[in-house]
Structure 1
């Protein structure tokens, strides 16, 4: 018997990174040595003291029961204190913080709380695919805000069509940005907050990369802007900050009604983040933060190797101030897909085509700095042999 997917699933493209895995595995099966710069997954383990904390918490039977839907009070208290230390913000842990099974889960579930069928959600493009997909899953209509080089990869709010604004329920931003590695200053954040107040929009800020920054740059929280808490919810992750991608732990902060709505959805869908992982998250946030500094120094060194190498190949690559991505323009005459495919087939180098993040990403590929400097240099040398 054949079963058809629901209409909402049929509207979704194949998940970008699942397709990349399939193509990579097909080439690797031919015996090719793969240098994988595709998915942004740290290649080093989580901090040893965090792993030890997990083991100790797992040995305690008290942690083996169902967790609280909104997260352990101690985890929410710790997250609120971390935010205060980092951004100078004061949050009510009971009402303005909620634990997540990774920030992706929270971002994906959030539209179910506030987006009705036919509502517009203004999403950046190119962007993390979950913004677009979760809007569709909630019955909404994603309307793209192109992120273009001439606008420093910031959305042009004045270019949004009045008819889309009239139906819009929410606006999504993500800085430091995946995939472009662009950053946003407080002046831009102030403009976005004012825009959302003016048009009655929910402001969704994905802040997963605020702690992955270089050269003295310090990314901001949208909640630093006066009035932002009246309209905004912001998603934070421990994944990239502490090399904890597989642990699935993060949290959302901001407007208490928006946090409560997300919590109501989660109470119907999941049973909360495992207390053991929350305990480890507390250890990560309260422990020695030198790990974060060392990680960033490592990625900075890798960034410099790759950017210099690509520039020596004649590619006009900007030096990113944050994230562990390099957003690279394609050589003349090659599309994103063609460049990505040639690098994989001819060089065994995996990258991500920019158009896979949305049509405005055409003409670019994204490299993730998830291998050693030596392997990055080797990747550049292999690409050079393509004769671009």
Structure 2
């Protein structure tokens, strides 16, 4: 029996994630330093962990409603209004999911028909293309450019739209570039979108990790965008809760109703313990966010300066916890650079091509690591670059 031939051809042809490969090799290497995985190095704050433990001690181990605990949905909506000025109804406009990735998948499966096009600014996180393809959609990359600070411009958006365009993914703050869309940039995109029926998937998982004097603003807060936007976020990045696997989506009641239907049959409900912990995070975690964001900001400045000083031009990221230095000056492609760096200097970084073809000539380096580890990695990378 040819088992491979029996697989769904779409699944068969999806390449594995390019993020994990170098991390997995580094994990087996003695004295290796990995700057590869996008995960906070902080432990979930104790008061959040304690609330999860307390829920177990109280025997709260049953399924919740499909949409999530009502108390959590109320807390999510209160948080979004308090932090970003967005108002959602906890009962009809809010769905709790197994991480932000499930929310993305639910949205795409709920709205995409075979042949519908999904616009994806790239470089960007690895899940959007496969999820669109699995739903029968056609992923359409839009290349963002370093000279535009890796922001999506209205001209780039307008040029990509066709009669088959159904969804625009808006993944800002961006993984891997750290790019941020400010209010004026979102308003320019909104002027284009208002002329269409295109829906917006706003992946704002890094919203709290925005640096500088301007706070994050959601495209859902821009005039005319609220109704057509589904906002996706979660607890992994802002609260260092990656292993708790909890996210959420907020949007138009009809969209959330459809997403909940898919979630109901595919998942049932998000982890109960994580939901109780998340209520505590939303209600009492502002200081934790501020502490971690300040530390990321310190590391960000160290890493950007380090790359620029060694001659690898590095865009100054305004969000998330990644740098995206250009390695074109070495004459090596991204994959070759990362492989040689790992075996020669025991430093794992991710080739830019893991985030789309337009990532060629760049590497992604996470600064969700200690300053000591970052400085040692930078020393090894500089020595590697000097001897190429």
Q: Deviations over 1:51-79 (max 9, x none)?
A: 10000001222x22222111111101000
Map of 2:89 onto structure 1: 92
Write the distance in 2 (CA, Å) between the matches of 1:215 and 1:305. Answer: 16
C-alpha distance after superposition, 1:264-303 (max 9, x if no partner): 1111100111222111000000014111111111111211
Secondary structure of 1:215's counterpart equals: coil
In 2: Cα distance, 1:21 partner to 1:369 partner: 15
Aligned counterpart, 2:368: 370
Q: Distance in 2 between matches of 1:203 and 1:163?
A: 14
Give 1:120-269 correspondences, 5 Å limit.
120-159=117-156, 165-269=162-266
1:341 Cα deviation after fit: 1.4
Structure-1 residue corresponding to 2:62: 65
Aligned to 2:343: 345
Q: Which consecutive residues of structure 1, in runs of 5 or more, have no partner in the other structure?
A: none
TM-score by length of 2: 0.94
Q: CA RMSD in A?
A: 1.7
Does residue 384 of the first structure (1) align with residue 386 of the second (2)? Answer: no
Greater than 6 Å deviation, 4+ residue runs: none
Cα distance, 1:116 vs structure 2 = 0.6
Q: Deviations over 1:105-140 (max 9, x none)?
A: 111222111101111111111111111010011011
SS in 1 for 2:226: helix
CA distance in 1, matches of 2:140, 2:134: 14
Equivalence map 1:262-277=2 (5 Å): 262-277=259-274
Q: Which SS does the other structure have where 2:230 is aligned?
A: strand
Q: Deviations over 1:76-121 (max 9, x none)?
A: 1000000110012221111111111110111122211110111111
Tell whether the 8 Å contact from 2:22 to 2:342 is kept in structure 1 after alignment: no
CA distance in 2, matches of 1:183, 1:12: 29
**Aligned position for 1:40:** 38
Q: Distance in 2 between matches of 1:189 and 1:224?
A: 10
1:328 counterpart SS class: coil
1:159/1:220 CA distance change after superposition, 3 Å: closer
| Aligned residue among 280, 286, 289 for 2:283 | 286
Q: How many residues align?
A: 383
Q: In structure 2, how many angstroms separate the alpha carbons of the residues matched to 1:12 and 1:101?
A: 22
What's the offset of the Cα at 1:161?
A: 7.6
Q: What residue number does 1:335 align with?
A: 333
Q: Is the 8 A contact 1:165 1:199 kept in 2?
A: no
User: How big is the shift at 1:19?
Assistant: 2.5
Q: In the alignment, is the contact (CA less than 8 A) between 2:239 and 2:285 conserved in 1? A: no
Cα distance in 1 for residues equivalent to 2:229 and 2:130: 20
- 1:117 match: 114
